[in-house]
Structure 1
Amino acid sequence: MNAPDLRVMTDHLDELMTLLAVGRLGRYTAAAESLGVNHSTVSRRISSLERALGGRVMLRAASGWALTDLGQRAVEAAEKIEEAMGGLTDREQDHAAFTGTVRLGAPDAYSVHIAAPAMAGLLRRYPQLSIENISATQRARQVRSGLDLEVVVEKPEIRHATASHLTDYALRLYATREYLERNGTPQSASELSEHPLNYYVESVLTVDDLDRAVARLPRMRRGVASTNILAHVTATLAGAGIGLLPDYVARQDPRLQPVLAEEIAHPLSYWAVIRPDAMRNPAVEAVYRALAEAGPDEAGPGPTGQTQIAPGFS
């Protein structure tokens, strides 16, 4: 079936733009909020459009609403209309295009040190936009789960989505000066076996690249093992052992000293996972662009000159 004809597009412009909003946001309530109408108006417009097109444009899915093939073609037509209308105004000044809520899933260290500053800058530019950040260190989800954009460690293998490289970092060993003076500074990797390691709980770690980070280390007894990097950092600062920490987090706190910096470094990358339907939303695209331009160098120290670490890191 071809795209909707010109008569349908002109007679049902409100319905088409409503479908575009639902297709981007995945939920009637979210679309209604972005359009400034109520839920029943969205439902009525979608039903009207389906009658005009002679078929279903959306089907209920586990995480909201998904476009049918007909709905996809209708959305493509709506996007062309939106693009043409956008040429009549300065899109950079059209803050109405950047409203609603964008849900971002990301590891906590990335969320706090990279995403939060980037999102703060974006919200100053588009004050009507809202960001929800769900923190977790895990593989990219194979099915849409209510998130508009995911940031994961290591390049993911995922269907029906695009993976885009964001930035690189490394895991390195750190300890406090007091700990090293009290327990001795390792001069070689073999001497690490005399020290406890603050790192993840092996049995619940689901990211292979984070698991492989300990492969070059000798067998070390565990100090504080946790699923939360806040515990790694806090335990290391408290002198509980040597921490295997993200370099862009540790280098912000002068109390943390690198250990065997020339020998031990595990390179890692952050990747954004974006599904095509989400990227049709200008607000989601704006969030992605802000993240793509950010990086570990944007992570600044707290007001005291030391890292301000929030709970839930990864």
Structure 2
Amino acid sequence: MNPNWDDMKVFLAVARLESLSAAGRELKVDPATVGRRVARFEEEMGAPLFAKSPQGYALTDAGQRLLAHAERAEQAMSGAMEELAGQAGNLSGTIRIGAPDGCANFLLPQVCNKIAEENPDLDIQIVALPRVFNLSKREADMAIGVSAPEASNRLTVQKITDYKLYLAAARSYLIQHPRIQELKDLRGHRMIGYIPDMIFDKELDYLAELGLDHVNLASNSVSVQFNAIRSGGGIGVVHGFAMANAPRLRKVLGDDISLTRSFYLIRHADDRRLERMNRFAAALSEGLKAEVSRLENWRKE
């Protein structure tokens, strides 16, 4: 039994994506070819690695046992390629970052632009999703989270920085509606926030923390909420680092009402052995910390 590395890559793609078509898109081959390669690999391994159903491909017990070995082989191959390429030069290849859309929209473009300028052979992919990323399925090489998952032998977690959030509204909205002097005055105003049953992390339940339980205009996207507030639709919670993008936004109740949250960098534990990933993670963390500080101090009211 001597499986080749190409078959191992096909196995890993199907294991993570649980679909021949999705694996085919990632590997840039047609699904039928993926299916044949899986069947050949199972024959070489002498055991069924996947349970096939209309819902997709799920790992069998044998497949689960093989997965850990395949991931170690993948890491060893990546490490060998790094060493051959040399670690002192610029970063290269492709790195995918998963992030909540507030971070992805207002921070990552500037931070990643700077990293890309310094590493012209590096391709950076930013995946903005209003949910928690599944790193075990390699949806991303690393992710930024608003809460720290429990570290394990598969994940490492590192705090990047704190950031502030404020109640805010457009100046046009505040002029046209009753004055707000204390928190209870918000009861008569239009509130903008998350769709309650789509809040994917308790750290995002901002309005509940402020004792506000009704949302007049809701979205699962921070960017949609931000644009609704900026256009005069009502009052909502806005990241301090986003307010530089909307000079006509005003804090409601000033700095008296603010929330503090944190960003965390979440990585595959095995990637800590890869100098390329370590260098990128360090640049990303330092860049985010500096950008949050710069934008939060852009305007003092």
TM-score normalised per structure 2: 0.69
Who is 2:18 aligned against?
none
Say if 1:26 and 1:166 are closer, same or farther in 2 by CA, change over 3 A.
farther
Q: Does the 8 Å contact 2:169/2:235 carry over to 1?
A: yes
Who is 1:232 aligned against?
225
Who is 2:195 aligned against?
201
Residues in 1 aligned to 2:162 and 2:169: alpha-carbon distance in whole angstroms: 22
- Equivalent residue in structure 1 for 2:131, among 126, 138, 154: 138
- Equivalent residue in structure 1 for 2:180, among 146, 171, 186: 186
**Structure 2 counterpart SS, 1:266:** strand
Residues in 1 aligned to 2:82 and 2:224: alpha-carbon distance in whole angstroms: 48
Who is 1:176 aligned against?
170
Which structure carries more helix by proportion? 2
Question: C-alpha displacement at 1:257, in angstroms?
Answer: 0.4
Matched length: 258
Question: C-alpha displacement at 1:189, in angstroms?
Answer: 0.7
Q: Does the 8 Å contact 1:173/1:258 carry over to 2?
A: yes
Residues in 2 aligned to 1:224 and 1:187: alpha-carbon distance in whole angstroms: 23
What's the Cα RMSD here?
A: 4.2
Question: C-alpha displacement at 1:142, in angstroms?
Answer: 6.5
| Structure 1: runs of 5 or more not aligned | 1-14, 34-42, 48-54, 307-314
Question: C-alpha displacement at 1:281, in angstroms?
Answer: 4.1
Residues in 2 aligned to 1:205 and 1:71: alpha-carbon distance in whole angstroms: 32
Residues in 2 aligned to 1:62 and 1:274: alpha-carbon distance in whole angstroms: 24
Question: C-alpha displacement at 1:220, in angstroms?
Answer: 5.5
1:164 paired to 2:165: no
Q: Does the 8 Å contact 2:158/2:265 carry over to 1?
A: yes
**Structure 1 counterpart SS, 2:284:** helix
1:273 paired to 2:266: yes
Question: C-alpha displacement at 1:296, in angstroms?
Answer: 5.9
Q: Does the 8 Å contact 1:103/1:133 carry over to 2?
A: yes
- Equivalent residue in structure 1 for 2:242, among 237, 242, 249: 249
Question: C-alpha displacement at 1:253, in angstroms?
Answer: 2.0
Who is 1:38 aligned against?
none
Q: Does the 8 Å contact 1:165/1:272 carry over to 2?
A: yes
Amino acid at match of 2:233: A
Amino acid at match of 2:265: A
What whole-Å deviation, never above 9, does each CA across 1:26-68 have from its counterpart, x for those lacking one? 7999xx99xxxxxxxxx9xxx9xxxxxxx9xxx9997999765
Identity %: 24
Q: Does the 8 Å contact 1:201/1:226 carry over to 2?
A: yes
What whole-Å deviation, never above 9, does each CA across 1:149-198 have from its counterpart, x for those lacking one? 11111111253200111121122100122211211331111111111111
| Structure 2: runs of 5 or more not aligned | 15-22, 29-36, 51-56
Amino acid at match of 1:178: S
Residues in 2 aligned to 1:252 and 1:193: alpha-carbon distance in whole angstroms: 27
Who is 2:97 aligned against?
104
Residues in 2 aligned to 1:78 and 1:237: alpha-carbon distance in whole angstroms: 45
Which region of structure 1 is more displaced relative to structure 2, 72-81 or 130-139?
72-81
- Equivalent residue in structure 1 for 2:107, among 109, 114, 120: 114
Q: Does the 8 Å contact 1:119/1:287 carry over to 2?
A: no
What whole-Å deviation, never above 9, does each CA across 1:186-216 have from its counterpart, x for those lacking one? 11111111111111100111111112x2234
Say if 1:237 and 1:68 are closer, same or farther in 2 by CA, change over 3 A.
closer
Q: Does the 8 Å contact 1:225/1:232 carry over to 2?
A: yes
Residues in 2 aligned to 1:230 and 1:80: alpha-carbon distance in whole angstroms: 41
